[in-house]
Amino acid sequence: MSTEAGALANFDRAMRRTFSWYTVSKKEFKDAIRSKGLWLLGVIFTLLFVSPVAGALYLDFGAGTSQQAQAIQQQGMQFLLSSLYTNTVTILVPIIAIFVGYAAISKERTSGSMKILLSLPHSRRDVLVGKVIGRCAVLGVPLVVSLAVTAAFLMASELAFKPELFALFSLFSVLYALVFVAITVSISGAFKKTLWSGAASFMVYFYSTFLWNATVNSFGQLLQQRLGVTGAIRWHLVLLLKLANPNQAYKTLTTSMLNTGDTPVLRARLSMFGGNADTQTICTEVLNGTWTSRAVQFGGQTVQVPTCNGGGTPVPFFYSDPVVAVFMVAWIGIAATVSYYTFSLADL
């Protein structure tokens, strides 16, 4: 046995002795490999991420010496990340996560194999944690590999490759994908029928992706009209509720990362509000910015346009990127806790 193989065997034995959920998660991952599901996911992710970059390889972004050509070269990767890849992750990756995890527990409850699994030295907590970690690996491994292949294509293209930027985007994207896998597997643990868990998972996805913001905006109007809560307090509550959505947390993290201005976090959080928001109050009293104006040429005339710039103090710590990332990842624990409570009371 080689040194590497021996080290892996020792690691495997140590994990089995230390963590009782490890055997369950390992089986989940090995089953995915045998069913070719892991390879199919790898192909899907590679096509989603690599296709636009592969096209860029055959486009002469460096043609000519104009400033426009140089700008396209410099900003091309950021354009792909902001306009294409972010939407791909927020719309399609959760759907793939649902198919990966919606039947993780409910299918075994329906077939009766869950009773056999629990007859072994595994508690219900071991099963739930093992299923979550195993299915996260099933989605995370092919996603990481496809992002690595995409990075290779970007380096070979005419686009200016920015490794720190792409590494942050990859990190946020993988975390977001794992959050939805954990939520989906946890939902699976709360339902006895696979059909119910699948329907509930799609309802959560649809609401968090398309309806959450509208609900929060309506809540903000209710605070003002019915409860008399106005000013900074109202907008603090609205912003916190927006950030509590993993979809919105991921979007604002990537927006902050891709913003090239002096105050990327400030502008990313401010962009979460629509035209009906009191932008000046949010800028100055919520995000610690300054409300100024800048001259813009419009129709042959100079127009003063109000704008939000950085103030003397940074954005409050609880709106910073690290804290928003914690907001997003916290859903793994929230979903697992709720699922464990319902799963532990279920009659198998």
Q: Which residues pair with 304 in a beta bridge?
A: 295
Phi, psi (rounded to 5 degrees) for 162: -115, 95
Burial (CB < 10 A; 0-12, 13-18, 19+), residue 286, is buried
- Measured between alpha carbons, how far is 54 from 118 in angstroms, rounded to an integer? 48
Percent of the chain clearing pLDDT 90 (strictly above): 34
How many Å is the maximal CA-CA distance in the chain?
A: 79
Q: Determine the average pLDDT of the residues in 16-28.
A: 82
| Amino acid occupying residue 244 | A
pTM of the predicted structure, to 2 decimals: 0.87
* H or E element in which residue 195 lies: helix 194-206
- Measured between alpha carbons, how far is 189 from 106 in angstroms, rounded to an integer? 6
Q: Tens digit of pLDDT for each residue in 244-294?
A: 999 999 999 999 988 877 789 999 999 999 878 899 999 999 999 998 877
> Residue 124 in contact with residue 28, Cβ under 8 Å?
no
Q: Which residues pair with 307 in a beta bridge?
A: 292
> What is the DSSP-derived secondary structure letter of residue 227?
S
- Supply the pLDDT for residue 71: 47
Q: Is the pLDDT of residue 29 over 60?
A: yes
Q: Is the pLDDT of residue 86 over 80?
A: yes
> Residue 21 in contact with residue 126, Cβ under 8 Å?
yes
Measured distance between the N- and C-terminal CA atoms of the chain, rounded to whole angstroms: 43
> Residue 95 in contact with residue 299, Cβ under 8 Å?
no
Q: Tens digit of pLDDT for each residue in 87-143?
A: 888 998 999 999 888 888 888 888 878 778 777 777 888 888 888 889 999 899 889
Tokens encoding 159: 């686009």
Going by C-alpha positions, the residue among 156, 170, 145 that lies closest to residue 55 is 156
Q: Determine the average pLDDT of the residues in 24-43.
A: 81
Most confident of 52-56, 108-112, 236-240: 236-240
Tokens encoding 60: 């002469």
* H or E element in which residue 42 lies: helix 37-57
Going by C-alpha positions, the residue among 42, 39, 76 that lies closest to residue 61 is 76
> Residue 82 in contact with residue 258, Cβ under 8 Å?
yes
- Composition of the chain by helix, strand, coil, percent to 5: 75, 5, 20
Average model confidence (pLDDT) for the chain? 83
- Measured between alpha carbons, how far is 262 from 267 in angstroms, rounded to an integer? 9
Separation in Å, CA 2 to CA 9, 12, 13, 253, 333: 11, 15, 17, 43, 38
Phi, psi (rounded to 5 degrees) for 186: -65, -40
> Residue 56 in contact with residue 156, Cβ under 8 Å?
no
CA–chain centroid gap for 146, Å, is 16
- Measured between alpha carbons, how far is 214 from 230 in angstroms, rounded to an integer? 19
Separation in Å, CA 258 to CA 76, 242, 255: 12, 20, 5
Matching residue, tokens 């380096």: 155
| Amino acid occupying residue 199 | A
> What is the DSSP-derived secondary structure letter of residue 319?
G
3-state SS assignment for residue 275 = coil
- Measured between alpha carbons, how far is 37 from 139 in angstroms, rounded to an integer? 10
